[in-house]
Amino acid sequence: MVLAGDFYKPMIRAQPNNVVAIGEEVTIICEGPSDAQKFYLFKEGNPRSKILKIYEDTEEKEFFISSIESHNAGQYWCNYKSPAGISKNSDTLELVVTGKLPKPILRADPGSVVSRGNAVIIWCKGAMQTQICFLHKEGSPAPLDQQSPRGTLNNAQFSITSVEKNHAGQYRCYCYNSAGWSEGSDALELVVTGVYQSKVSLSAQPSPVVASGGDVTLQCSSQERYNKFILMKEGQKSPWLWASWNANTGVFQALFRVGPVTPNQRWRFTCYGYYVYNPQMWSAPSDHLELLVSGTLQKPNIWAEPGSVIACDNLL
């Protein structure tokens, strides 16, 4: 909190975000002390500033743009006037206006579900002649990183050498070339497992041996108070099923109905627990559970030679 009378550099931010699509709304907020009399908003290349007079005591003033156009993109800063004089300029805010180019494609390699401590590469594939791409994480006011595409595939590479829980979340990327900015990519949800060390157990009810074409119930449970559970099937990069149910016994568990089970694929599962307020942070995995499909081979034949009736003397 800034006390009245403090003479300091103001803070500038954009709400809801500094990356805005054409036609959307954005509010640029300049924060200063309560004795500020006027706030001034500046834009690079624009000789005129927007001035907002203060009529009530407050520590921030808002500059509202109701419908963003491409010419609104650029660098902004602000300052204020108080009885002590004109303040220092704020840091620069980069307002990015997207929508001129097709949205890039965002993906994670080897996948979007990553064990804590492992490495992951996030690829952003832009349009032809892309010059630079920016990676944004939901909730962060500024881009996490910027990279130029490599090679002829227009892929920008963003590497995380050791994933930690703060990397969990939703990501988007934006790319730029001489024609302007792209739309934002579809969101990539990066999940970090092993954030919570209380493991969960996975079992099949009534048995992991299932007749071909039949169903089975998988039970994922934990003594930890997880309020959501995820079931993943080997070979699929995203959760296959999810559900939640808390038993009265004090064991927190989820029941998943799986089927029909067929012999032409592998039915190997792992489950995780998590909390609804941190949906991209999962527990350590359960042990693997593999279903065995019965009835997939012909019933064997059994016979005796020379016959099934044998004289007692022949047994001696």
Structure tokens that stand for 285 in this block: 């995995």
Q: Sheet harboring 155-160: ordered strands across?
A: 105-109, 120-125, 155-160
* pLDDT exceeds cutoff 90 at 167: yes
pLDDT, mean of residues 144-167: 90
Query: Distance between CA 251 and CA 263 in Å, rounded?
Result: 33
Closest by CA to 271, choosing from 224, 217, 229, 225, is 229
* Overall CATH class of domain 105-193: mainly beta
pLDDT at 3 over 50: no
**Tokens in use for 114?**
């990553």
Domain boundaries, the chain: 11-98, 105-193, 197-294
Contact between 19 and 94 under an 8 Å Cβ cutoff? The reply is no
Task: Note the pLDDT of residue 109.
Answer: 94
3-state secondary structure of 302: coil
Q: Is residue 216 predicted with pLDDT exceeding 70?
A: yes
CA 144 to chain centre: 14
Mean pLDDT over 54-71 rounds to: 76
- In whole angstroms, what is the distance from residue 237 CA to residue 107 CA? 11
Rounded Cα gap, residues 254 and 221, in angstroms: 6
CA of 238: how far to CAs of 114, 216, 274, in Å?
Answer: 11, 21, 15
Listed residue (306, 291, 71) closest to 180, CA to CA:
71
The reply to whether omega before 102 is within 30° of 0 (cis) is no
- Which pLDDT band holds residue 186 (cuts at 50, 70, 90)? very high
Which range, 43-57, 85-99, 223-237, 273-287, has the best average confidence (pLDDT)? 273-287
Give the Cα separation of 147 and 156 in Å (integer).
6
CATH numeric code, 11-98:
2.60.40.10
> Which residues fall within 8 angstroms of residue 123, CB to CB, at 6 or more apart?
106, 107, 108, 109, 155, 156, 157, 158
Is the model's pLDDT at 298 over the cut of 50? no
Superfamily name with CATH number, domain 197-294 = Immunoglobulins (2.60.40.10)
Please name which of 32, 13, 16 lies closest in space to residue 77, comparing C-alpha atoms.
13
The proportion of the chain whose per-residue pLDDT surpasses 90, expressed as a percent, equals 35
> Given this model, what pLDDT does residue 169 score?
95
User: Following DSSP, what letter does each residue of 26-39 receive, concatenated?
Assistant: EEEEEE--TT--EE
Reported as a single tens digit per residue, the pLDDT across 224-259 is 888 889 999 987 766 666 666 665 666 788 888 888
Greater model confidence, 302 or 286: 286
Q: What residues does 132 pair with on adjacent strands?
A: 176
DSSP states of 196-229: E----EEEEES-SEEETT--EEEEEEESS--SEE
CA 89 to chain centre: 35
Mean pLDDT calculated for residue range 158-174:
95
Mean pLDDT of the chain: 83
pTM score of the predicted model: 0.68
Q: Is the pLDDT of residue 79 over 80?
A: yes
Same fold yes or no, 11-98 and 197-294: yes
Closest CA to 32 of 76, 75, 82: 82
Q: Tell me the CB-side half-sphere exposure of residue 280, using CA atoms within 13 A.
A: 19
Would you say 42 and 66 are in contact if contact means Cβ atoms under 8 Å apart?
no
Cβ of 219: how many Cβ atoms within 10 Å?
A: 19
